[in-house]
Amino acid sequence: MTIQTALNDKDKRIDLYLSEQLSISRSLAQELISSGCVKVNGCITAKNYRIRGGETIEAELPEPEEIEAVPQDIPIEIVYEDNHLLVVNKPQGMVVHPAAGNPDGTLVNALLHHCKGRLSSINGKIRPGIVHRLDKDTAGLLIVAKDDQAHAGLAAQIAAHTFSRKYEAVVLGNLKDDFGTVDKPIGRSKTDRKKMAVTYENAKEAVTHYRVISRYNGFTHVELTLETGRTHQIRVHMASIGHPVAGDSVYGDKKNVLKLNGQCLFAFHIGFVHPITGKKMVFEVERPEFFNNVLEKLNKAYS
């Protein structure tokens, strides 16, 4: 791949510049530079090289690894199922679909076994049936499509913001108001391509409503309703107002005083219109064990 730098790129480190231009992690950009896969004006460069503006950069990218999900007999909790879709209660710690670093053991692997391969094909071989996702450490309800017609109908509802999703979380600090809305656009972080951020560049509208359930000394238990469904939306929005989700080291809880294994967040409610029958469907689940353990700890030590 060949990139022509501009004058307004002057003084940027080349590893950061490549991370932004190629949508790859900064560490991968550094690996490419160190292995001689990046040339500036025909010459191999160093990862601390700073852009001058007007250079020609040639980057040789590795071929993407082909990953195809395979069926695996992994127990999953099915909340609802019919011939067109199913609703799953995903546990904390389970990855939704295979990717680099997580080639198997995912929810998709379990679904392929449970559904005997009958899942929608819209998202390809890696994400069959997956209409929307939850982060690895976010537990809760997830809807899965068995056929393309159901998938398309559900995706249309998500796009139209008629697909309801509610979460509970424990966040750091004490929220000033009992009710509130965070209305800030979200896009890819400029400094870390693996993260999202509140930004007005190459961003999409994002709206999160919150309601305080209970307050503790230094923590708040909240209910959150998504009006939109951006990647990491709740985590980014709550961090942006100074109240990151407890246990979320990526977006602000660096100290992790509660000693959590991932963010204290779960999706307890999902609502949609069945894309085939037209029936209104609403599902809710109880708080998972890890979440109840956090609340118990807060009641004992932080009330």
* Catalytic sites, residue numbers: 135
DSSP state letters, 75-117 = --EEEEE-SSEEEEEEPTT--SS-BTTB-SSSHHHHHHHHTTT
DSSP for 144-198 reads EESSHHHHHHHHHHHHTT-SEEEEEEEEES--SSSEEEEE--EEE-SS-TTSEEE
- CA-to-CA separations, 142 to 138, 149, 283, in angstroms, rounded: 11, 18, 10
- State how far the Cα of 2 lies from the Cα of 261, in Å rounded to an integer: 42
Sort 48 into a burial class: Cβ within 10 Å, 0-12 / 13-18 / 19+.
exposed
Q: Pick from 170, 150, 253: which is nearest to 210 by CA? A: 170
Task: Give the Cα separation of 241 and 186 in Å (integer).
Answer: 14
Q: Residue 159 burial (CB < 10 Å; 0-12/13-18/19+)?
A: exposed
Q: In what order do the strands lie in the sheet with 43-44?
A: 2-4, 56-59, 38-40, 43-44
Count CB neighbours of 177 within 10 A.
9
